[in-house]
DNA sequence: GACTGGCACTCACCCGTACGGAGTGCCAGG
DNA sequence: CCTGGCACTCCGTACGGGTGAGTGCCAGTC
C-alpha cells in the first residue's frame, strides 16, 4: 500500500513543511524535489497518504500537512541518523570537558543541547538509585555523634550527622567501616541499602541498638531519592520561535516546564543509554502538550543508563538533526561523568 | 503645575489601563471614577499631563496611556502600600513554614511570589558572604586526611576534604578546632576568613606548613562565592499573558531569564531588607527589557539583607499589589530563614 | 478664572465585497 | 500507470464606506 514513491512524497512533505511552516502543495513539491513524476501523480499519492492518515489538509484546497502518524512513519522508516562531523564532535567534547563537577556537567549539557537543537532542553540529574557506591566513610565527631559520608560513582557526596543513643568505641566504628565498604562497594544504591540492613546480624548483641540507628541513617542516605526529581531546563527562549500558535501550545508547555515531576514523566524511563526515544504529539503523555514532541535518551557512564535527557519542541521539528544531537550529547555526557 | 486633580486623573488612567490594557479616554474615565468633573475638564488635565510627559497617545484621536515617567510618578506619590489581610498573612507563613531546608525555602518563596503577583518571580539564594558562621568542625578521616565542615547561619553546609602533606596529631586538631570556633563564631564569612588567616601565627613552627594547607581550604570554603550567583526563577508561565507584543518584549525576557548573571543585575544590590525597589521601563539596566519593570527587595533574618528577591513583569502592572506582595514575601522569607 | 457643553475633525476598527492565486479532484488520453 | 487539462474551492489581501471613541477648541456660564 505504501510503496517507495509514496514514502518519498511523505518525506518531501515533512521536510518542506518543517522548513517552511506552510502546508505544501503538489506543484511546489515537484519543483523543490526530484521525484521524477508530475504534480498530478503526486496528487494521487497524496490522496492515498491522506486516506491512510499520514497527512491532512487544514482546509479544502490547501496544501498538505503531516499528521502525528505521518511524522511517526517518517521517523521510523526514514530517519537514518547522520553521525556528527568531526568538528561537531570536537566542539561537544571540549564544551563538556571544562566541567568541574556533576552540577557543572548537567548545566553545560542543558546549554549545549538547547543550543544544538534550538529547542527547550531538559536534563535529569544523575539518579542516585542507579549509581553505585564508590566509598563509605564513618567519622567520629564526638563519642555519640557520627558523620556518615557516602560517595557515589558519579561523584555525588551525601552526608548525614547521626546522634547515637550511646557512645561507640573507635574499634567498633573501624570494624563497621571495613564491613560496610566490602559489603557495598560497587553495588547500586538500592542493593547496597539491603546489604547494609543485613550487616546488623554480624554485630555483638550489646551494640545492636546503637548500630541500628547508625545503619538506619546510612540506608536513608542510600535511598534518599530527592535527587531523582531534580531536572534542569534550558533554552526556554527558543519557545519564542513558536510564534503564532501561542495560547494553544505555549502556555501549557511553559506550565509543564515548571513542574519537574511532569518533565520527568515526559522524559520517560531511561531504558538504555544508547536508545533515543521519540514521542510525537498525542503520544506524549499529556493532553495539553499534544502539539509537541519529545526526543529523549538515557545517558550514563559506559552505556549504563543513569538518568535521562532530551528536548521538547513542536511536532513540526527537524527530527533527524534533533535525534542526532540528543544521541550525541547523551553519549558525551555519559563519558564526561565517567571521567569525574 | 501638577495639582491634586491631575494626580487623581493620572491615577485613574494608570488603574484603568492596567486592568483593561487599552488606551483610556476622558469619557470612560469620568464614568468609571468619581472625579466630580466633566470629560472636557479631564481632557484639559490630560493635555497638561501629556505636555509634561506623564501620559501619551498611541495615535491621534486615541485614548491616553501612561509613560514610564507616569508610572514613576504614580509609584512615588500615590502608592500607599496596603498591608495584607490576616488570611493572606496566614497563607504566606503556613506556606513557608513547611520548608525543611534553605533550598526548600527558596523554592517555596519563588512559587509563592509567582502565584501572588502572577508575574515571573526571581529569588536569589542567600549570599554566603553575607551570612555568619554558626559552627566549624574538623574531622580526622585518616592521619593525613581531614574533613572540614562549615555551617552557616542560614543552615547551609559547606564541606571540604583536605589532603595534608604530613600527618597531624589529634591534639593539634582539637586545639585548632577550639581556636577556630572562638575566632569566627558569629562573624560574617569574609571577616571570618581573615580571622582564620591570622591564626597561623599561633601555631608551633613545626606544624605551620601542614596547618597552612588546612586553613587555606577553610578560607576557600569561607569565600566560595558560587552561591552568590545562584538564583531561582519561577512563574514563567505567567509570561503567556503578555500575549500579542511577543517578539518585542517576550523573547529578550526569556533570554534574560536564562542568564543568571543578568538576573542578578536586574534584582540589583540588596540594600536594606525592608526597602522595595521599583525599576520602570527604561530604568531597567537592559535596553531589550525596556517594556518591563522590576520590583525587588532585599531579604534576610532580622532585617539584615542577605540577598534579593523580586519579580519581573510588563511596565503595565499592578504596582500597589505587586509591591505589597514582594515586601510581604521578603519579610516572611527572612523570618523563615532565622527559624532554621 | 475655572468648568462645562457643544461641535467639527481624526483615526482605528469593523464589516462586506471583489479578486488573484495556490491547490485540489477528476477525467480522458497516451 | 502516468500525465495534461479543466473546473472548482477557498484563503489571503486589498479596497471602501460606515461607525464609534476620542480629541482639541471655543464660546458660554457660574
DSSP collapsed to 3 states, A146-192: EEEEEEECCCCEEEEEEECCCCCCHHHHHHHHHHHHHHHCCCEHHHH
The answer to whether the CB atoms of B237 and A246 lie below 8 A apart is no
Q: What is the pLDDT of residue B244?
A: 54
Q: Tell me the shortest Cα–Cα distance from A49 to chain B, in angstroms.
A: 36
Would an 8 Å CB–CB cutoff place A239 in contact with chain B?
yes
What nucleotide is nearest B55 when CA is compared to C1'? Answer: D23
Least confident of A19-33, A268-282, B176-190, B312-326: A268-282
The answer to whether the CB atoms of A141 and B139 lie below 8 A apart is yes
**In chain A, what residues touch B139 (CB-CB under 8 Å)?**
139-141, 147
**Environment class of B204 (CB within 10 Å of its CB; exposed 0-12, middle 13-18, buried 19+):** exposed
Burial string for A167-192 (b: 16+ CB within 10 Å, else e) reads ebeeebbeebeebbeebbeebbbeeb
- Rounded average pLDDT over B105-122: 94
B41 contact to strand C (CB, 7 A limit) = yes
| Cβ-nearest to B236 among A137, A235, A254 | A254
CA distance B72 to B66: 10
| Cβ-nearest to A239 among B140, B147, B254 | B254
Altogether, the residues listed in chain B come to a count of 340
Interface test with B, best of A161, A231, A236 (most B CBs within 10 A): A236
Spell out residues with C-beta < 7 A from strand D.
A 5, 36-38, 40-41, 44, 59-62; B 23-28, 39-40, 43, 46-47, 50, 57, 61-64
Pick from A178, A176, A195: nearest CA to A132: A195
- Other beta carbons within 10 Å of B171: 8
pTM of the model: 0.80
At A135, is the secondary structure helix, strand, or coil? strand
At A305, is the secondary structure helix, strand, or coil? coil
Spans in chain A with pLDDT lower than 70 = 1-2, 128-129, 141, 154-157, 224-229, 242-248, 270-274, 302-304, 339-340
**Nucleotide D4: nearest residue by CA–C1'?**
A40
A216 contact to strand C (CB, 7 A limit) = no
pLDDT in tens, A192-211: 888 888 888 877 888 888 88
Would an 8 Å CB–CB cutoff place A261 in contact with chain B?
no
Cα dihedral A131→A137→A141→A147 (10° resolution): 20
CA distance B89 to B328: 8
Cβ-based neighbours of B244, under 8 Å, separated by 6 or more: none
Q: What is the pLDDT of residue A268?
A: 79
CA distance B207 to B146: 15
Pick from A325, A309, A313: nearest CA to A245: A313
Average pLDDT over chain B reads 84
Q: Tell me the shortest Cα–Cα distance from A30 to chain B, in angstroms.
A: 34
Would an 8 Å CB–CB cutoff place B258 in contact with chain A?
yes
The answer to whether the CB atoms of B240 and A258 lie below 8 A apart is no
Cell 514532541 locates to A293
Q: Tell me the shortest Cα–Cα distance from A334 to chain B, in angstroms.
A: 24
Q: What is the pLDDT of residue A252?
A: 84
All domains of chain A in start order, with CATH: 4-76 (1.10.10.10), 86-127+227-339 (3.30.450.40), 131-223 (3.30.390.10)
CA distance B307 to A213: 38
Q: What is the pLDDT of residue A315?
A: 93
**In chain B, what residues touch A246 (CB-CB under 8 Å)?**
240, 243, 246
**In chain B, what residues touch A250 (CB-CB under 8 Å)?**
240
Residue pair B112/B89 in contact by the 8 Å Cβ criterion: no
CA distance B295 to B298: 11
Would an 8 Å CB–CB cutoff place A234 in contact with chain B?
yes
Distances (CA, A) of A162 to A134, A149, A216, A336, B265: 21, 11, 10, 34, 41
| Cβ-nearest to A137 among B141, B234, B251 | B141
CA distance B145 to B141: 5
Q: Which three cell numbers stand for residue A312?
A: 521538547
pLDDT in tens, B39-98: 899 999 999 999 999 999 988 888 899 999 999 999 998 877 777 888 888 888 888 887
Amino acid at each position: 500500500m505504501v510503496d517507495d514513491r509514496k514514502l518519498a512524497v511523505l518525506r518531501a512533505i515533512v521536510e518542506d513543511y518543517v522548513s517552511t511552516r506552510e502546508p505544501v502543495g503538489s506543484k511546489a513539491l515537484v519543483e523543490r524535489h526530484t521525484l521524477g513524476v508530475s504534480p498530478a501523480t503526486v496528487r494521487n499519492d497524496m490522496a492515498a497518504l491522506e486516506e491512510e492518515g499520514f497527512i491532512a489538509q487544514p482546509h479544502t484546497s490547501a496544501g498538505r500537512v503531516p499528521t502525528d502518524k505521518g511524522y511517526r512513519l517518517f521517523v521510523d522508516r526514514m530517519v537514518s541518523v547522520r553521525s556528527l562531523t568531526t568538528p561537531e564532535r570536537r566542539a561537544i567534547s571540549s564544551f563538556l570537558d571544562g566541567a568541574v563537577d556533576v552540577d557543572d556537567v548537567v548545566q553545560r549539557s542543558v546549554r549545549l543541547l538547547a543550543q544544538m537543537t534550538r529547542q527547550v532542553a531538559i536534563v535529569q540529574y544523575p539518579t542516585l538509585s542507579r549509581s553505585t557506591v564508590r566509598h563509605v566513610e564513618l567519622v567520629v565527631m564526638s563519642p555519640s555523634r557520627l558523620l556518615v559520608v557516602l560517595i557515589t560513582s558519579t561523584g555525588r557526596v551525601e552526608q548525614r550527622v547521626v546522634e547515637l543513643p550511646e557512645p561507640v568505641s573507635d574499634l567498633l566504628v573501624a570494624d563497621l567501616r571495613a564491613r560496610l565498604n566490602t559489603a557495598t562497594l560497587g553495588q547500586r544504591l538500592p542493593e547496597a541499602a539491603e546489604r547494609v540492613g543485613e550487616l546488623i546480624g554480624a554485630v555483638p548483641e550489646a551494640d545492636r541498638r546503637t548500630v541500628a540507628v547508625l545503619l538506619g541513617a546510612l540506608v536513608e542516605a542510600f535511598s534518599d531519592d530527592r535527587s531523582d526529581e531534580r531536572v534542569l531546563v534550558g533554552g526556554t527562549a527558543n519557545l519564542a520561535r513558536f510564534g503564532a500558535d501561542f495560547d494553544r501550545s505555549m502556555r501549557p508547555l511553559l506550565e509543564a516546564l515548571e513542574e519537574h515531576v511532569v518533565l520527568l514523566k515526559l522524559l520517560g524511563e531511561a531504558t538504555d543509554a544508547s536508545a533515543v526515544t521519540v514521542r510525537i504529539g498525542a503520544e506524549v503523555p499529556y493532553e495539553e502538550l499534544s502539539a509537541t514532541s519529545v526526543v529523549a535518551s538515557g545517558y550514563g557512564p559506559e552505556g549504563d543508563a543513569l538518568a535521562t535527557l532530551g528536548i521538547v519542541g513542536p511536532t513540526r521539528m527537524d527530527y533527524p538533526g534533533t535525534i542526532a544531537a540528543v544521541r550525541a550529547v547523551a553519549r558525551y555526557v555519559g563519558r564526561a561523568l565517567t571521567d569525574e
